[in-house]
Each structure stands twice: as structure tokens, then as C-alpha cells.
Amino acid sequence: MEKTAQKNKATKDKGIIFKRWLIPALTVLIVAAFATLSLTRKKEEPTISHTEPAVAILSADNLALPKPELRSSNSLEAVLKNRRSRREFIDKEITLKQVSQMLWAAQGVTVDWGGRTSPSAKSTYPLSVFLVANKVAGLDAGEYQYIAGDRTPVHELKPIKKVDLQKALYEGLNDSAFHNAPAVLIITGNMSKMAEAFGGIPHDKEVYLEAGHAAQNLYLQAESLRLGMVTISTFSNAIVKDLVTIPPGDTIIYLIPFGIPKL
């Protein structure tokens, strides 16, 4: 009897110990299960950026631009007199015809041997002109490259990608000129191309001078079209290259927001 009682007591003690450990153990297991489930859901949820603009692919076909006008009612003297840097724009779209005229003024081919509207040392033409279209009638918001042509005029836009960069440029560069600008031109220079023209000797100065010639053409053309623009040469290269597709070998020289100026 005594042995039976001792055995029953031992069994009872084991039951008590088991119950004491059961609840905490189950609690730990439940908490661990919920934690694992939560982590799994977080991994499965896509990461969404609220700062980067949405990007889409544009058509691979080049877009023919309207033919540039070769005459206007404004005299050269008048546009020289009125030329100003204008940093504030009306929040209104501009026409593809106006964009076409601006691009032609910067780098359009004007003669059958390939001469352009801007002079270039040894006819090297190391500049490239890119368009960021924000609000251009008949043109998707996005990035484009101007194709001037070589010996014969081409005068086309090469689509790069469909993206709305207006807010990103304004906030990223912290410059009010980008706030309402319906379009931005980006002028880049290939320093290696100019060096090759001089037998491998760097002539970066020639590239910067050429960009200045193109920018002055743009200022005069903008005044003739009753548009406004400003050349911006102080900016973060890292931010611009992060937002805009620029060839690795090119140096960004100018950002040029333009549009209808506020009077």
C-alpha cells in the first residue's frame, strides 16, 4: 500500500510539473509562429518608392519633328535687346513646334556638309542635346535625345523612356526654375571626341565654348518665340544622372528649363 501511495504521489507531482511548463511552452510557440508569419508577409510585400518617378518604355521609333521656320517677324536686334534669363514659367503646355524650333537653334544641321547652327572646333560637334518633356502637346512625358543628322538634316527625337520628371527635378535640385517648366533641355559634351580631333590632346575648353554658343542661340530663339529660359550650370551631377539617362562618357554642361514666362 505504501509503495502504491508513493507511486501515485510521484505521478501526481509529474502531472503538476508538466502543467506548470505546458502553458509557458505553448505561449512561446504561439508567439514564435506569429512572428514567423509576420516576417514572411513583410518579405512578400513589394517595396514601393514614393520618391522615384514611374518609368515606362517609349516606342523605339524616332519621331520626326516639325520643320523649323527660317524666318520670323522679329529682328535680330529686337531679340538681342530683349534677351533675359527667365526663371518663372506659367503652368501651361507648349507646342511641339516650339520645341522643334528650340532644338534646331541649338544644334540643327544647316548645310549639306554637316555644318550646324552652332560653330564647332574642327567641325567635331561633340555636343548632345536631350529633352525632358513634361508638358509638350502631342508628346508623351519622358526623355528624348535630339538627332540633328550628320551631313544631311535629320531633325528627329529619339525616345529614351517614358517618365514624368518635373516634380523629381524640382525637388531633387531644389531650384524653382524647374517648378512649372514644361520642358528642359540638357546639353552634354563628349570630351574624348574633341580630344581625338586634336590628335589625342585634351581640348575641353573648346567643348565648353561650343555649349556657350548653343546656349546663346537658344536664348535668342526663345525670345523670338516669346518663350523664356535660363541656363543652369550649377547642379548635383549625381542627382541629374540618377534621374536622367545620360551616356557614361558625356559631361553634363547645362540644364535649360524653358516655357511660357511669367510677365
**Distance (Å, rounded) from C-alpha 61 to C-alpha 232?**
30
**Distance (Å, rounded) from C-alpha 191 to C-alpha 36?**
55
User: Taking the CA of residue 178 as centre, how many other CA atoms within 13 Å lie in the half-sphere pointing to its CB?
Assistant: 22
Per-residue pLDDT of the chain (263 residues; tens, 9 = 90+): 455 545 555 455 545 444 454 444 444 444 444 444 344 443 333 333 335 565 555 667 999 999 999 999 999 999 999 999 999 999 999 999 999 999 999 999 999 999 999 999 999 999 999 999 999 999 999 999 999 999 889 999 999 999 999 999 999 999 999 999 999 999 999 999 999 999 999 999 999 999 999 999 999 999 999 999 999 999 999 999 999 999 999 999 999 999 999 97
Residues 5-29 as b or e (16 or more Cβ within 10 Å = b): eeeeeeeeeeeeeeeeeeeeeeeee
DSSP run (H or E) holding 56: strand 55-56
Beta strands in 142-189 (DSSP E): 142-149, 153-163, 183-189
Amino acid at site 144: Y
Q: Cβ neighbours of residue 77 under 8 Å, at least 6 residues apart?
A: none
**Distance (Å, rounded) from C-alpha 62 to C-alpha 57?**
13
pLDDT of residue 13: 52
Q: Cβ neighbours of residue 36 under 8 Å, at least 6 residues apart?
A: none
Cβ neighbours of 4 (radius 10 Å): 8
Between vectors from CA 222 to CA 247 and to CA 248, what angle results, nearest 5°? 5
Take residue 185 and report the three cell numbers written for it: 533641355
Amino acid at site 203: H
